[in-house]
Structure 1
Amino acid sequence: MTGDAPSPGGADPLSLGGVVPPVVTAFEADESLDPEGTAAHAEFVVDGGASAVFPLGTNGEAPLLTAEERDEVVATVVDAVGDRVPVIAGVGAPSTGETVARAEAAAAAGADGVVVVTPYYYPLDGPAAVEHYRAVIEAVDRPVYVYHIPGRTGNALSLETLDALAEAGIAGVKDSSKDVPWLGQAVDDHPELTFLVGSDSLLVPGLDAGCAGLVSAVANVFPELVVDLYEAYDAGNRERARQLQSTVYDVRTALKRGPYMAGVKTALSLRDGPDVGPLRRPLRRMDADEQAALETTLEELGLP
């Protein structure tokens, strides 16, 4: 039950809401999978107040993992925190067959729901997108959430296609398009769906637009900060929520300096969080100068 924060949609059996970190995948120094580190990070964000966890999103480096590794990550996170919060597993792939296979494996591992990024690389029209998602919906007895991130996939979903996806039986949408007019109209058209805003630049605006949950990369490092923001908003303290959004903007800017996606794992090491190791190549960690600059900024913000 929420207060001032938007409620999940009635078509969502998990009633997702609150803070849903897209948890990281931990690696050993040689870039092999580190299940213990992966589990420790999931536990870290849940201890920090996360309402659910989302393994194998962008922050989870899913496209850089083999199918077997992806299945192992889902099983690891379910075993670590599945008795405490819902686990919604990223299962998307360029092909429908591979996506269905990963969704079936996630369901077998005990994931509570599956998150399906729009297929990428090849252009996708509306009918093809609907058939893709329908295949997943029919294959698994789990709620299916659309992951809409056209800036990474190259495939945007029209509002008309979203209408068809809602009719096909999706439970919700994780929107990382940063297209606020699209998001606002999508929420207005489909109050039965749960919407999760997927950019730290739009946490409070996403709540204002009707999103029930926040999929936040910043929450991978400072879950308590984003949980405080959500709780302030839910309690009706919009001024406090907007102040915290301002802090999130500063943290987001600091994390985005340097190599793509390096900030989260570097910041975790700076705050003595769980040891999650390097990124998998071709991604790379921050160098010494970049890490020092990040550390200075976080200290100036008064963050651990």
Structure 2
Amino acid sequence: MATADPGEADPLSLRGVVPPTVTAFDEEESVDYDRTAAHARFVVDRGVHAVFPLGTNGEFPLLTQQERGRVVERVVEAVDGDVPVIAGVGAPSTYQTVAHAEHAESVGADGVVVVTPFYYPLDETGAIEHYRRVANAVSVPVYVYHIPSRTGNALSHDTLTELVEIDNVVGLKDSSKDVPWLVQTIDAHPELTYLSGSDSLLYTGLAVGCSGMVSAVANVFPELVVELYEAYTGGERKRARELQGTVFSVRNALKSGGGYMAGVKTALSFRDFDAGPLRSPLRRMDETERAELRERLEALDLI
């Protein structure tokens, strides 16, 4: 089965590798906007197909509204139209989400990614009304970000059926890791664009009908994930499967100490890109963890 084309409802026709780019900080944990923008340029220059600032890897829940707005502005400037910028605008409240979405559109983001509201339990009526209000507030395409392990709010198939009727809702980034749920959703709503949201399921996502993938590994090694995508779409399935194995190994190494995002920023430093620390309470890797990560990435011949 070939990777699916983007959904006909999606004016951006998103496909390929979409890194959830990092937010860089200085040693005092203030946002380093120059380095944040430079990281977006780092992955674009290495062949990715779009960028997604202010996703989980962008530490969006730890930023102020003003910081989030400035990150989107600088990333849009840095990318300069070379690939689409789909900005994360999610927040616990619809009010905040709408404000983020309106600002992202005003500074030139090509689309917005709306994570399911988190902290408070959300019923079907609340979810539908949330996405309707966001979509009605902007004219750029809206992509639903489904990550129930982080939000505590899963979307049912019945809810998705209602969401796809909303103008501007054009795609879904699925980080549920629930492959049967994803397959059933793709079958029911082929007009949407689907992006696989887990590095453990890049190959699988393409095989079941996703047109692209949001990959944290691609924040550090965009060339690796682009090669996987191009091998798959070029019919070299055996090579793509081998590369998925390498991505598994990188993913496991990045998660070996301090959490996935600590691994991402540490590994970037091995590629001479300093994204600084994470914002507390997240922490960077200690020296022992750094040394172990370097050893594992050297064994994979990636640094």
TM bracket, shorter-chain basis: over 0.9
Q: Partner of 1:201 in structure 2?
A: 200
Deviation at 1:132, TM superposition (A): 0.1
Deviations 1:89-136 (Å, cap 9, x if unpaired)? 000000000000000000001000000000000000111100000001
Say if 2:300 is the partner of 1:296: no
Deviation at 1:82, TM superposition (A): 3.4
Q: CA contact under 8 A between 2:36 and 2:275: conserved in structure 1? A: yes
Q: CA contact under 8 A between 2:2 and 2:206: conserved in structure 1? A: no
Deviations 1:274-298 (Å, cap 9, x if unpaired)? 2211100000000000000000000
Q: Partner of 1:277 in structure 2?
A: 276
Tell me how far apart the structure 2 counterparts of residues 225 and 58 of structure 1 sit (CA, whole Å). Answer: 21
Q: Partner of 1:105 in structure 2?
A: 103
- Root mean square deviation, CA, Å: 0.9
Secondary structure in 2 matching 1:36 = helix
Out of 35, 59, 68, the position equivalent to 1:61 is: 59
Q: Partner of 2:31 in structure 1?
A: 33
Secondary structure in 1 matching 2:249 = helix
Q: Which runs of 5+ in 1 are unaligned?
A: none
Q: Where in structure 2 are the equivalents of 1:1-304 lying within 5 Å?
A: 4-169=2-167, 170-260=169-259, 261-272=261-272, 274-304=273-303
Q: Which amino acid aligns with 2:155?
A: L
Q: Which amino acid aligns with 2:203?
A: V
Deviations 1:31-83 (Å, cap 9, x if unpaired)? 10101100110001001111000000000000000000000000000000032
Q: Which amino acid aligns with 2:85?
A: V
Tell me how far apart the structure 1 counterparts of residues 127 and 187 of structure 2 sit (CA, whole Å). Answer: 21
Tell me how far apart the structure 2 counterparts of residues 5 and 40 of structure 1 sit (CA, whole Å). Answer: 30
Deviations 1:218-264 (Å, cap 9, x if unpaired)? 00000000000000000011000000000000000000111122100
Tell me how far apart the structure 2 counterparts of residues 79 and 172 of structure 1 sit (CA, whole Å). Answer: 24
Q: CA contact under 8 A between 1:4 and 1:235: conserved in structure 2? A: no
Q: CA contact under 8 A between 1:265 and 1:277: conserved in structure 2? A: yes
Paired residue total: 301
Tell me how far apart the structure 2 counterparts of residues 11 and 83 of structure 1 sit (CA, whole Å). Answer: 21
Q: CA contact under 8 A between 1:24 and 1:41: conserved in structure 2? A: yes
Q: CA contact under 8 A between 1:38 and 1:73: conserved in structure 2? A: yes
Structure 1 moving runs of 4+ over 4 Å: none
Secondary structure in 2 matching 1:45 = helix
Q: Which amino acid aligns with 1:162?
A: L
Q: CA contact under 8 A between 1:18 and 1:51: conserved in structure 2? A: yes
Q: CA contact under 8 A between 2:16 and 2:212: conserved in structure 1? A: yes
Q: Which runs of 5+ in 2 are unaligned?
A: none
**Alignment TM-score, normalising by the size of structure 1:** 0.98
Q: Which amino acid aligns with 2:146?
A: H
Secondary structure in 2 matching 1:151 = helix
Deviation at 1:11, TM superposition (A): 0.5
**Alignment TM-score, normalising by the size of structure 2:** 0.98
Tell me how far apart the structure 1 counterparts of residues 2 and 225 of structure 2 sit (CA, whole Å). Answer: 16
Tell me how far apart the structure 2 counterparts of residues 126 and 253 of structure 1 sit (CA, whole Å). Answer: 35
Secondary structure in 2 matching 1:103 = helix
Tell me how far apart the structure 2 counterparts of residues 82 and 140 of structure 1 sit (CA, whole Å). Answer: 21
Secondary structure in 1 matching 2:56 = coil
